[in-house]
Copies of this chain bind each other. A is one copy, B any other.
Amino acid sequence: MLEKHPDDAVTRACFRRQDGPDKHGAGTDGQVLVQWELLLCAPTIRNWISGKTDSYHPVTALGDPVLAPGLGRVIETRNPQFPEGTRLFGPATWQDQQWLDPTVGYRIIPDGISSVDAMGPLGINAITAWCGLVKIGEPKPGDVLLVSGAAGSVGSVVAQIGRIKGCKVIGIAGGAEKLAWLREECGVEHLIDYKHENLAERLDTLCPDGIDIYFDNVGGDMLAQAAARMRPLGRIVLCGQISAYDGGGPIVAPPIDMMRLIYGCIRIEGFVGRHHPEAIPMALADLADWTAKGLIAHREDVRPGFDNLPETLSLLFSGSNQGTLIARICDEAGAPV
């Protein structure tokens, strides 16, 4: 459960393990008891536990279990349409088991897809990438596509979809290992190591004629640098602002030149998947097709242990995870790990 809202960094002290008698009760008619197997560690969880009570994102109160997207298996059912053994993906919490209404916001994972694949190349991060790039970014062959957080679970899929769509893709990531993976496994031709290279100089070299699409996972200075280079009719897709999540306070716009936006007819558009439910089937069809053809590389960083959840989550903010970060709570048979 949430012990205190993080002031800056996410640390173990923000959380407390609470054991005790089963608080789940017996559930009510229509509900199912789910044993969580995998919990997604996504940067946005940092915002949900921040204690900010803005109306526009889920808020976790002190003493409540931490919210997270999760995949689990029905181990007891009071809903005949969801028999024991059904795997569900959807809103979970940092608990081993949970009674829930499976008809609200959950997706059944079909047999033949591994749990990890359902959280990885066919998971919510990949769907988010598809939705943001294809629906908001509207990539056309020859477009210059800049992606920040390019080695992340969303960014790496964005970069590869951009490559499939015929864009000139420029990825920004930190460190030689991530760059090598992007180049060799993901086929991203142009890369910037923001930790060791001068971003502005590299952008001037790699996209001297400007940028058509900037897919922003980072915010802050990277967003300002990209905005200053947008071509007329360019699109900036706002997906995350991870550079600022640990900063406390509201995350405000960096110094973007407003007149450039006007004269260039530049569009800046935020998005989260839940406002685009109609896109999910299209996204999954494309992603399954591309994955089957080997066109999209993906890697998952699966860290075992319920008790390690705080440390696992905090890896995101030091940039030390490699791929989609997933906490494994139990094995496929339901035994704790």
Interfacial residues, chain A to chain B (CB-CB below 8 A): 47, 54, 56-57, 219, 232-233, 238-241, 244, 250-272, 275-276
Contact = CB atoms under 8 A, between A and B. Distances in A.
In the complex this chain forms, how many copies of it are found?
2
Nearest to A271: B265
Contacts of A251: 257-259
A224 B96 CA distance: 43
A232 B261 CA distance: 22
25 contacts: A54-B257, A54-B259, A56-B232, A57-B259, A57-B263, A219-B258, A232-B275, A240-B262, A250-B257, A250-B259, A252-B256, A252-B257, A253-B254, A253-B255, A258-B270, A261-B268, A262-B270, A262-B271, A262-B272, A263-B270, A263-B272, A265-B270, A265-B275, A266-B270, A267-B267
Given A232-B275, A275-B232, A275-B233, A241 B258 contact: yes
B262 A239 contact: yes
B241 A259 contact: yes
Contacts of A267: 267-270
Contacts of A258: 219, 238, 241, 244, 251-253, 270
